Amino acid sequence: MNSAALAVQQGPATFGDGDPFPTWPMHDETEERAILEVLRSGKWGSTHGDVVATFEREFADYQQAGHATCLVNGTIAISVALRAAGVGVGDEVVVPPYTFIATASAALLIGAVPIFADVDPATHLLDPAEAEKMITERTKAIIVVHLAGRPADMDSFTDLGRRRGVVIIEDAAQAHGASYRGRRVGAIGDMGTFSFQSSKNITSGEGGAIVTDDPSTGSQLYSMVNVGRVRGGGWYEHQSIGHNLRLTEFQAALLRAQLVRHPSQQAAREQNAKLIGAGLADLVADGRIALAPDDPAVTEHGRHLFIFRVPQLGAAGLRDAAVKALQAEGLSAASTGYVPLHRNEPLINEATEISRRVGRTYTPTDCPNADLVSADTIWLPHTYLLGTEEQTELLVSAIRKVVLEADSLTP
């Protein structure tokens, strides 16, 4: 064995002292002060304090949207956005299969039926042509996911929405600060939803937001999150059916601090992502690794995940072994990523049951591209883009070592 022996085969680990990358979330005195301030104010809820309202304005500005409404999490954000778009029981919502389960379960939660449309294997993102094929007279909305922080093809989706009369909702849970043709994501479509759950690039442990440019939708969202109240109206004046889905002032205090920190973290992630791309360029050229191609329309990548494909290893059934090998090198959070949702039995069962109740049969879609990428994709979390230059170079050498020595792995 030479020095290139894999750690998983008793060779020396690339990161001999273990995983050096930062843990998440990151915080300092800014968050501590902000939390204490809310604590001491005695105004812990947004019905009495103004921290949530302040963050909503700041976050709307950050995403270049007219309005932002905060709420409990990113899943409920999608359900509420769908309801605000008029989606109800039995209506169809087109979604990609290569995404977090919430993109589809949020539709089921309100009795709507998710219809899967395949992704583009080069980007892992919903393919507009595939989405259009799935539109029927029952389709009310398309949920476009900016997976990993990479904006989807919004030119095609906004055009599709207009041509076919369907609402476009952006699931931007992984895409804070991302922009498409210079415009921040979220309010490019009709509405956009965000998550502030623990793993996301801006976080308060749990939380979510919906952004929109449409003032009347903004007011409607406020009511839906605030038990049907209207802004400035009476306490017991419930003009519509809404629920209490409010964020606390503590969460908003954390979010205001996280929002301030986000631009410099994004710059670091972007720079390191470029270093990694450059360090893998020869393996991309010879086809051992596939990275999503550069696209001038992607003006800011949200960098929630660093995703790459290993097509030959995938075809040989060695992707999972390669991930284990990366973990042994010290990249402990390397992961195999999603099992595509069109393969998720509980989801299909629920969609089938809802369809049955409205007198229809549910026909699951074949999504060969989602199957392909789910077998050959490797994920690194965004904290792996926050290392020093030296750590980033080691990260590149760990990937190179595993990909170049992968012939010696067994499934």
Residues that bind ligand PLP (CB under 6 A): 73-75, 99-100, 102-103, 145, 171, 173-174, 195, 197, 208
Indicate the residue among 73 and 266 with the shorter CB distance to ligand PLP: 73
Helix 389-404 and helix 319-329: axis angle, to 10°? Answer: 140
Report which DSSP code applies to 37.
Answer: H
What is the spatial distance between Cα 41 and Cα 44, in angstroms, rounded to a whole number?
8
The radius of gyration of the chain from alpha carbons, rounded to an integer in Å, stands at 22
Residues contacting 54, CB < 8 A, separation 6+: 252, 256
Rounded least distance, CB 105 to ligand PLP, Å: 9
Q: How far is the CB of 211 from ligand PLP (least distance, A)?
A: 15
Q: Any idea of the CA torsion for 246, 194, 181, 94, to the nearest 10 degrees?
A: -110
Q: Which is nearer to ligand PLP, 156 or 199 (CB)?
A: 199
Q: How far is the CB of 324 from ligand PLP (least distance, A)?
A: 24
We find the least distance from the C-beta atom of residue 185 to ligand PLP, in angstroms, to be 12
CB 146 within 8 Å of CB 185: yes
Instruction: Please report how close the Cβ of residue 104 comes to ligand PLP at its closest, in angstroms.
Output: 9
Pick 103 or 377: Cβ nearer ligand PLP: 103
Our CB check for ligand PLP shows the closer of 209 and 326 to be 209
State both tokens at 251: 């969460």
Cα–Cα distance measured from residue 188 to residue 211, given in angstroms and rounded to the nearest whole number: 10
At position 132, the amino acid (one-letter code) is E
CB of 102 to ligand PLP, least distance (A): 4
Question: Which residue reads 């369907």 in tokens?
Answer: 166
For the CB of residue 309, give the shortest distance to ligand PLP in the complex, in Å: 19
End-to-end CA distance of the chain: 21
Residue 146 or 288 with smaller CB distance to ligand PLP: 146
Closer to ligand PLP by CB, 342 or 401: give it: 342
Kindly give the pairing relationship between strand 305-309 and strand 113-116: unpaired
* Cα separation values, 350 from 77, 361, 395, 406, Å: 20, 12, 41, 40
CA angle 106, 110, 115 (to 5 degrees): 60
Alpha-helical (H) ranges within 124-248 are: 128-133, 154-164, 215-225
Minimal CB distance to ligand PLP: which residue? 74
Question: Which of 152, 165, 155, 157 is closest to 85 using CA atoms?
Answer: 165
Per-residue DSSP letter, 260: H
Report residue 53 as tokens.
């309202």
| Closer of 20 and 346 to ligand PLP (Cβ) | 346
Closest CB 78 distance from ligand PLP, rounded Å: 6
Pick the closer one to ligand PLP by CB: 193 or 392.
Answer: 193
CB of residue 143 to ligand PLP, shortest distance in Å: 9
Residue with Cβ nearer ligand PLP (103 or 391): 103
